[in-house]
Amino acid sequence: MWQLISPTLPIGAYAYSQGLEYAVDCEWIKDEETASQWILGQVLNNLSQLDVPVFFRLYEAWQKKDFTKIQHWNAMVLALRESAELRQEDVNLGNALVKVLQGLSVDVSDNEDEQAFVTIFAFACVHWRIDVKEAAHGLLWSWCENQVASAIKVVPLGQTSGQKIMSQSIEIISKAINKAELVEDDEIGLLAPGLAIASALHETQYSRLFRS
């Protein structure tokens, strides 16, 4: 798991801010407090309603080799990305993780269909027999770490402020996973208009450091 969530994993996650860069540009985020609200608010209210519940279902589907369900949940998570940038980021990271796993001699097919990052992450966790709940913690920790790294660069925040947010994330991540475990199939999804607007407007933002 540590290898999968490491910032050194060569999938290019550092190149994306998921709308955070625009939120800084328009001063929705301007300091440690507002950065924490943006990042941890998404963990508790967005990822707990979409990414983590879908991850749980993909993990089970990979265990059972139920490719119909794998395709269903993969399509679902991509369909619920609210901007072109967010959707393309997901596919790019998924493709990059496939290539990394192939380089590590993991037997994962390079499917012609677009595959979300969480789909391939779930496959890797099943392949390496990583506990599903531990893997979900790792997935959210990695997401937070990337967002904090982006905030440190563009707000900018000091390294200590970044570590404070990561410390706060420990409790929030556990709450988000507990919440995600209770989400029923027909409850999966999110409504995050601020994130969608920030991501869509980032597509034409000048100048920018990140791809999303």
Which residue shows structure tokens 């798991």?
1
From 20-24, 47-51, 105-109, 182-186, the region with the lowest mean pLDDT: 105-109
pLDDT at residue 50 in the model: 98
Cα gap 200→19, rounded to integer Å? 8
Say if 111 falls within a structural domain: yes
pLDDT band at 6 (very low <50, low <70, confident <90, very high): very high
If you average pLDDT over residues 108-120, what whole number do you get?
86
Give the domain range for residue 97.
Answer: 34-202
Q: How far apart are CA 46 and CA 33, in angstroms?
A: 19
The model's pLDDT over 116-139, given as tens digits with 9 standing for 90+, comes to: 999 999 999 999 999 999 999 999
Number of domains in the chain: 1
Inside any domain, residue 100? yes
CATH number at residue 136: 1.10.4190.10
Which of 38-52, 92-106, 172-186, 196-210 is least confident?
Answer: 196-210
Q: Kindly indicate the confidence band of residue 112, based on its pLDDT and cuts at 50, 70 and 90.
A: low
